[in-house]
Structure 1
Amino acid sequence: MQALTLEELRSRYGARYKWLVLLTCMIGSVAAILSSTIVNVAIPDLSRYFALGQERAQWVSTGFMLAMTLSMLMTPWLLLRFGLRRTYGGAIVLLLLGGVVGGFSINYQMLLAMRVLEGLAAGVMQPIPAIVILRAFEQHEQGKAMGIFGFGVVLAPAIGPSVGGFLVELFGWRSIFFVVVPPCLLVLFLIQRFLASYTPTLEHAKPLDWKGLLLIGVSIISLLNGVVELRGDMSQAVILLVLGVTTLIAFIIYQMRTKAEPLMNMKLFRYRQFAMGALVAFIYGMGLYGSTYLLPIYMQMAMNYAPSQAGLVLLPAGIVLAVTIPLAGRLADSYPPNVLVAIGLFLLASSFALMANGSPATSYWLLMAWAVIGRIGLGFVLPALSLGAMRGVDNSLIAQGASAINFVRQLGGAIGVSMVGVVLEWRITLHQSRQALGIDNHRNAFNETFLLVAVLCAVAVITAWYMREKPWQKDKQNNMTGL
């Protein structure tokens, strides 16, 4: 099928065209999130199959998030250089390839490489829906659009672990990699039908900031490995952490002084709402992704549930989340986003605090209820965080801003997963040194780790209040006409 121009597609589909584009982006995001979350329930099986310790097993999740964090910084450049159609289509092909080849992995190195490939694809796709919403929808429709988008996206983490648990039990861990194949094929069809052709011009073809990408890449890899080494060689951990912080500072200075198109425009952080929103996104990412990694392992190792039961515990919470997000999206059009974000983070922190009090007497249904509380909180945060941080930002910085918010959230998530793995191993070892390691000691170690995640989310509640919108910003429109 020959690609049509934007004008031809708008003429054919009218006012509903922007919703068709959003639907296309939403299904691709579902596939990407599915590939991210469905693997967590299989971590115990992967550990046994490849004879991995906890410090290596967590890289199945961390490697994905690391690649995702780095590649999402390239999205604005890719969109300018290749357009939405080619950028999004290329990312879907990479995600499809990673899923198929990953399912046939013959060793841990091959598996990890395919997880990194999937992460690269997911990172490119991550900021695109927010860019589409902020550019194509009027401000009074943005909350509704973000809510509808969120409704679709939460189906992946809601259904993914449940389906993944049953697949692991019935067909083994390889089957979970093939789950992304149907949605990827569907999205490739929708791309051909609904996304416009795009011919880059010389003024768009700005060079990619490779120096900035190298600096931030070295920084993130050093920080993550430094966190992991805290339970091993302390001197090496200090060297890696110092290198990570140093290259991070160098990246910030370089981005401020470079005359080329920056990878991350530091002018964004002159807007107080954006700066506070980015900090909230970072802490929120640490808590959310750290707990998402922790919960399926907790259910299997500490509570002795089967993989299917470990995945099923999140299903009611996911359904509640799917209902909450559209409602929260409508509220985001009428109420200050910082208030909604603070309420959501408080509920999320409460959920983790309740998990931290788990005991042998805690029933499966009570664990479900605690997860529901957290997902209600998540439903309040998701539509409001991006909108709250981006309102007031100049139109020319929207693409960079959407990418940056997702970047800091994923960076927080990658660090959070590593930190959770390190803290969990530390607490298990501590309990083991006190007495013979048993199920109660496992549970105590997990409970203490959940408490840490709860504290992180509580800190983010305080930060969210500083995302308040200034009076003069309330009337400013942040929409653009292009897609």
Structure 2
Amino acid sequence: MNKEITESNKKILLIVLIAGCFLSTLNQTLLNVALSNLMDVFHVTAATVQWLSTGFMLVNGVLVPITAFLMKRFTTRQLFISSMFFLFIGSVFCACAMNFGMLLTGRMIQAIGAGIIIPLMMTVILYLYPSEKRGSVMGKIGFAIIFAPAIAPTLSGFIIEYVSWRWLFIGLVPFLLIVIVLAFKYLMNVAETTKTRLDIASVILSTIGFGCILFGFSKAGSKGWDNPVVITNIIVGIIVTTLFCLRQMKSNDPLLNLSVFKYKIFTLTSFINILITMIMYADLILLPIFLQNGRGFTAFEAGLLLLPGAVINAFLSPVTGRMYDKYGAKPLFITGLLFIIISMWGVIDLTESTTYLYLMIRTVILRIGLSFISMPLNTAGLNALPRELGSHGSAVNNTIRQLAGAIGTAVVITLYTVQTTSHASELSMENENIPTMQLAKLASIFGSSDAYLLMLVLSFVTLIFACFMPKKTAIQKNVIKKQ
């Protein structure tokens, strides 16, 4: 195969993978705005409807640790086409759902497909591209990963308001079919498969461990930290996950190779990944709460406010990818975190008169900061590993992201709830004649400000970690030595 054909095949492969990743990420975030509408449609409570998000996250989370095994055992074509079929079948199930149980089943089937796409794509890039070109390629992928959730709230709000919730799934079906056809025609395999044995005990331990932790933290925000279900799940999850980790360290062929943490740069980027994911997920849930509860905006208006920042983030991703290849991770991380700190500083003193435009500009600043970090962070971590550990590094990265997202969301919702209750009590004592609606709005505004103060502190902590990142020359020497 000559070089030109190889390069054109790489481009086709990348386009097909990015299209699949875009649809997977879009599907994952489309329902966030639609939950209250689905409560009315299926006559279920908030706690029940939340399973459409929680269940998706749980299936996704427990699947991620076994992706490294799947990538060794099956070909790129088999895994990608299978994941697209799961997304397709799940979408059809959801579109035809006659009751909530059927909708939830379809959502779980979708999650099986979505769980493997991003780890698979990261591993393919490690095989196809040398370390000095991965930044720009990851930047292009970042466009798909970021642009999908960018348009999801607005698109979902529009569909719910003007069409029918079923079109959230019907609309995905033809695009999924197109990607499946393209994959059959153009997708090639990038790595050899091996007849590796699946460690069933490790699968059981990881499923119970990660599943319980994710479930416990996802319920902490609504039920409270002192709820027996929350405490039991988190404790069981931590114990079982510890047993899983000990088993991986002793195994000759681990399900999830934890030796990736022997590489200092990977470990450092993992810490930064945890903190950035917590900040990002917390903001995604806290800002709509403030806009709707504190200011009385509709879900569609809240989605529109998030749109400009997220679109800018998506379009900046390829640019920051090229900057990573040129300058390395450290200057990008520090620049990004300065933007994030400014954006958090701007919302620690929210009031009734904080304007829609001000919040939109602040969200644009936050998203510019995230664009300097998100994909360069993945690239820097995976570049620190030898190629044979790439799939394990990708699986570890995604497991960390799932856990950090659940923990960040739970902590912020709990802080917001506690502080809102406290402020409501103080305000009612100070002014007994204050109307109930006004009291609820003010308490929500003050509670949001307190939660953003925590996120500002986390941003400063992340900046400290980023300062320990080595310069580009030191990383290059490390890559040469590793190879």
TM-score (norm: length of structure 2):
0.88
Task: For 2:446, give the aligned amino acid.
Answer: N
Q: Deviations over 1:158-194 (max 9, x none)?
A: 2222111111111243332334223312211220121
Identity of aligned residues (%): 29
Q: Which one of 415, 440, 443 corresponds to residue 442 of structure 2?
A: 440
Q: What is the rounded CA distance, in whole Å, between the counterparts of 1:91 and 1:28 in structure 2? A: 9
Q: What is the rounded CA distance, in whole Å, between the counterparts of 1:352 and 1:328 in structure 2? A: 22
1:470 and 1:138, CA in 2 relative to 1: closer, same or farther beyond 3 A?
closer
Mapping for residues 3-18 of structure 1, pairs under 5 Å: 13-18=5-10
Q: Does the 8 A contact of 1:82 with 1:199 survive in 2?
A: no
Q: Does the 8 A contact of 1:71 with 1:121 survive in 2?
A: no
Q: Deviations over 1:459-479 (max 9, x none)?
A: 22222333326856414658x
Q: What is the rounded CA distance, in whole Å, between the counterparts of 1:471 and 1:335 in structure 2? A: 9
Q: Which one of 249, 256, 264 corresponds to residue 272 of structure 1?
A: 264
Task: For 1:226, give the aligned amino acid.
Answer: G
Matched position secondary structure for 2:103: helix
Q: Which one of 45, 57, 65 corresponds to residue 65 of structure 1?
A: 57
Q: Deviations over 1:2-61 (max 9, x none)?
A: xxxxx6xx7893422112111111111111110122221223323444556555554433
Q: Which one of 342, 351, 371 corresponds to residue 350 of structure 1?
A: 342
Counterpart of 2:196 in structure 1 is 206
Q: What is the rounded CA distance, in whole Å, between the counterparts of 1:153 and 1:236 in structure 2? A: 33
Counterpart of 1:143 in structure 2 is 135
Matched position secondary structure for 1:438: helix
1:116 and 1:411, CA in 2 relative to 1: closer, same or farther beyond 3 A?
farther
Q: What is the rounded CA distance, in whole Å, between the counterparts of 1:198 and 1:374 in structure 2? A: 36
Q: What is the rounded CA distance, in whole Å, between the counterparts of 2:90 and 2:279 in structure 1? A: 27
For the aligned residues, what is the CA RMSD?
A: 2.9
Counterpart of 1:322 in structure 2 is 314
Q: Figure out how many residues of one structure are paired with residues of the other and give that number.
A: 470
Which structure has more relative contact order (CA 8 Å, sep 6+)? It is: 1
TM-score (norm: length of structure 1):
0.88
1:466 and 1:53, CA in 2 relative to 1: closer, same or farther beyond 3 A?
farther
The answer to which of 25-34 and 130-139 deviates more is 130-139
Counterpart of 1:169 in structure 2 is 161
Q: Which one of 244, 247, 265 corresponds to residue 251 of structure 1?
A: 244
Q: Does the 8 A contact of 1:296 with 1:310 survive in 2?
A: yes
Q: Deviations over 1:381-426 (max 9, x none)?
A: 1221012112231221111112211221122112223333433433
Matched position secondary structure for 2:372: helix
Counterpart of 1:461 in structure 2 is 463
Counterpart of 2:207 in structure 1 is 217
Mapping for residues 3-402 of structure 1, pairs under 5 Å: 13-50=5-42, 55-196=47-188, 204-227=194-217, 228-229=219-220, 231=224, 234-259=227-252, 261-402=253-394
Counterpart of 1:4 in structure 2 is none
Q: What is the rounded CA distance, in whole Å, between the counterparts of 1:182 and 1:359 in structure 2? A: 45
Q: Does the 8 A contact of 2:347 with 2:452 survive in 1?
A: yes
Q: Deviations over 1:79-126 (max 9, x none)?
A: 222201010111111112222222333444433333333222211001
Matched position secondary structure for 2:327: coil
Q: Deviations over 1:292-342 (max 9, x none)?
A: 233334333332222222211122112211231121111101223133123
Q: What is the rounded CA distance, in whole Å, between the counterparts of 2:406 and 2:96 in structure 1? A: 26
Q: Does the 8 A contact of 2:61 with 2:211 survive in 1?
A: no
Task: For 1:164, give the aligned amino acid.
Answer: S
1:321 and 1:168, CA in 2 relative to 1: closer, same or farther beyond 3 A?
same
Q: What is the rounded CA distance, in whole Å, between the counterparts of 1:393 and 1:199 in structure 2? A: 17
Structure 2, unaligned runs of 5 or more: 429-435
Q: What is the rounded CA distance, in whole Å, between the counterparts of 2:167 and 2:225 in structure 1? A: 34
Task: For 1:450, give the aligned amino acid.
Answer: Y
The answer to which of 151-160 and 460-469 deviates more is 460-469
Q: What is the rounded CA distance, in whole Å, between the counterparts of 2:461 and 2:191 in structure 1? A: 46
Matched position secondary structure for 1:262: coil
